[in-house]
Amino acid sequence: MTVKRSDTAPAYQLVASELRTRISAGEFPDGVRLPTEAELAQQYRLSRQTIRRAFVDLVAEGIVYRVPGRGSFAAADSGRYLRRLGSIEDLMSLSLDTVMQIVTPMRRRVDIDAASRLRLDSDIQYSLTFRRLHDEVPFVLTSLHLTPHSAKLLAEVPELQAGAVSTATVIGLLDPRLASPIAEAEQSITVAPANAEVADALGCPVGHPMLRVDRLYSNDLGEPVELSISHFLPEHYTYRVTLGRDNR
């Protein structure tokens, strides 16, 4: 078996993605050892260093744990979707192992709160909603708000049309079209009950506790270009951030 090469996805990320899928499918139940680095290197026709990097990511995400002298094993809660996020590139790489499904295509709307957060001169902004699925299970509904300029750049993109299903991310579609690239995401995390729209999209009861994540993306000039408001099902999603020392 070989891993398909990609200009945007290093081989270790593709190996990690496939191992996540296999673990999520129950291929390695409790106590069943994962293949060794040497076995995977031969299977995927890659170097052991590449396989080791994939394992480093899976261990850091909590999907895999290692027992010295015994091997690597799937964590007990690895059936839920988990991503370690530490950069804009990590957010763009959600497309490696999830699918975006457009629920409501882009439309021009008046939204005072979103327009204010996007620092627009008027209350007009453009919004769309989409679900993201992992192994065909929806785990988040996102309401996306765009400045008129960002919306114009994405107006004809096939991945954002009604009913479209793709492995894209919106920031991954938007960033290469911007004159000034996305440089920052200001994020806030709270708990919120599911409203009727969220409940219908994710198959949960109205009022179900959700993890709400708001992200305001800005370009390298400090100008907001996109606001996303996502409601995650906590039983199908784990959020983890790795913090390091500030060495300044």
Domains of the chain as residue ranges with CATH: 11-74 (1.10.10.10), 81-240 (3.40.1410.10)
Residue 26 makes CB contacts below 8 A (sequence gap 6+) with 79
Query: What mean pLDDT is predicted for residues 224-243?
Result: 82
Q: Which amino acid is at 172?
A: G
Mean pLDDT of the chain: 85
pTM, whole model, 2 decimals? Answer: 0.66
Query: What mean pLDDT is predicted for residues 112-140?
Result: 92
Which residue carries 């496939």 as its tokens?
18
Residue 161 has pLDDT above 80, yes or no: yes
Query: What mean pLDDT is predicted for residues 169-195?
Result: 92
Question: pLDDT tens digits for 212-233?
Answer: 999 999 999 999 999 999 999 8
Residue 88 has pLDDT above 60, yes or no: no
Residue 64 has pLDDT above 50, yes or no: yes
Residues in the chain, how many? 248
Query: What mean pLDDT is predicted for residues 163-169?
Result: 91
Residue 242 has pLDDT above 80, yes or no: no
Query: What mean pLDDT is predicted for residues 30-59?
Result: 88
